[in-house]
Amino acid sequence: MSPKLSQLRKFVSPEIIFGAGCRHHVANYAKTFGARKVLLVSDPGVIAAGWVADIEASLQEQAIDYCLYTEVSPNPRVEEVMAGAERYRSEQCDVIVAVGGGSPMDCAKGIGIVVAHGRHILEFEGVDTIRVPSPPLILIPTTAGTSADVSQFVIISNQQERMKFSIVSKAVVPDVSLIDPETTLSMDPFLSACTGIDALVHAIEAFVSTGHGPLTDPHALEAMRLINGNLVQMIANPADIALREKIMLGSMQAGLAFSNAILGAVHAMSHSLGGFLDLPHGLCNAVLVEHVVAFNYSAAPERFKVIAQTLGIDCRGLSHKQVSQRLVEHLIALKHAVGFHETLGLHGVGMTDIPFLSQHAMDDPCILTNPRSSSQRDVEVVYGEAL
């Protein structure tokens, strides 16, 4: 590898339409792709919130045929992806639209992969395994956090093995992402807290990732500033659309950062945990974040100091040890301020589960870009602290 090559950076992103009410224009984008019949992927909660009806109305206005696929669990499963692909084929769809949180969006991405290749979703685990382009994909996120709508990640749950697996490829970056802050009005306070912390973790991990660079850093820092500065107020004033816009923008910027810089140990450990106990992804991240930051700090002290300053911590005259301590305290205080007091122990994780969890975290692609190289023993210690 020539020294020049290590300096190369690529940046992928969908076409993004951002703003209140943009979900109503979904049919225009489906039409651009020559849609004859859309597979509309969602889940029961999003239907109940009324967002699916808005998408249906838009498609009906433009006389675009569609069929619904809404059998998606909170951690989308292998079987659900395969059933969705079967539905796409039997209904002869030619465009996929998903509306919802990370789960329907990841399920839709998985369906696209299976439809394009005619093979089982499990065959695509890992990085750059996709050979055939997926059908046109339009995503409409209803949570401010996961950023599946801008990322090159798909996370699917394999319940047989009690683990999640990742597919990372620019082929799963959607064609169009309609980011509409109004859709986040239906999030309850706990979901708002979990997904908000998830987005903050995306930004922090992307900024210290070994894959960070000048194309991702500004997005990561702006995301931290927006989320840190507005999350507490947004949860206290759930009807304030201006605050929701700021958090949604922060989440989007965090997504653009991590999709291109990749993540770190929080996500590797969180994927393992979510697969094992079927817990919400944002909750797993929030439980782990300050423990991983404390573990990683010494590997990137200058960059963590920038994070601390961006989060409003006055670092003048402080040693790195003190900055690390302040940063950890700030993250814990922010979690408490948004009503998050969970631990792993509360969810039934015991010392005996840690070797299994750690082994799978070590196999996750996100561990590869963690700033501090970690052994399985290191990961076990951090899980232990999060109990």
Whether the Cβ atoms of residue 209 and residue 262 lie closer than 8 Å to each other = yes
CA dihedral 45, 46, 48, 52 (to 10 degrees): -150
The reply to whether 10-183 and 187-386 are identical in fold is: no
Whether the Cβ atoms of residue 363 and residue 374 lie closer than 8 Å to each other = no
| Tokens at 326, concatenated | 């302040």
Q: Write down the architecture of domain 187-386 according to CATH.
A: Up-down Bundle (1.20)
What's CA 313's distance to the chain center, in Å?
26
Closest to 219 (Cα-Cα) out of 250, 244, 240, 187? 250
Q: How far, in Å, CA of 62 to CA of 11, rounded?
A: 34
Phi, psi angle pair for 285, to nearest 5°: -60, -45
- Spans of the chain, pLDDT less than 70: 1-6
Which alpha helices (DSSP H) does 209-319 contain, by range?
A: 217-236, 241-261, 265-277, 281-296, 301-310
Q: Quote the DSSP letter at residue 135.
A: P
Task: Return the CATH fold of 10-183.
Answer: Rossmann fold (3.40.50)
Quote the pLDDT of residue 4. 53
- Cα 17–252–52 angle (5° rounding)? 60
Q: How far, in Å, CA of 146 to CA of 173, rounded?
A: 14
Quote the pLDDT of residue 211. 96
Whether the Cβ atoms of residue 209 and residue 202 lie closer than 8 Å to each other = no
Q: Domain spans of the chain?
A: 10-183, 187-386
CB atoms near residue 299 (< 10 Å): 15
CB crowding 221-235: b at 16 or more within 10 Å, else e? bbbbbbbbbbbbebb
CA dihedral 283, 285, 289, 295 (to 10 degrees): 140
Whether the Cβ atoms of residue 235 and residue 338 lie closer than 8 Å to each other = yes
Phi, psi angle pair for 264, to nearest 5°: -155, -155
pTM: 0.96
Quote the pLDDT of residue 26. 98
The tokens 């055939």 sit on which residue?
132
Whether the Cβ atoms of residue 9 and residue 38 lie closer than 8 Å to each other = no
Phi, psi angle pair for 166, to nearest 5°: -110, 145
Alpha-carbon dihedral sign for residues 165, 350, 369, 254: positive
Strand-strand pairing, 163-168 and 153-158: antiparallel
DSSP per residue over 138-152, as a string?
EEEE-SSS--TTT-S
218: Cβ contacts below 8 Å, ≥ 6 apart: none
Q: How far, in Å, CA of 106 to CA of 190, rounded?
A: 21
Closest to 62 (Cα-Cα) out of 37, 27, 90, 86? 27
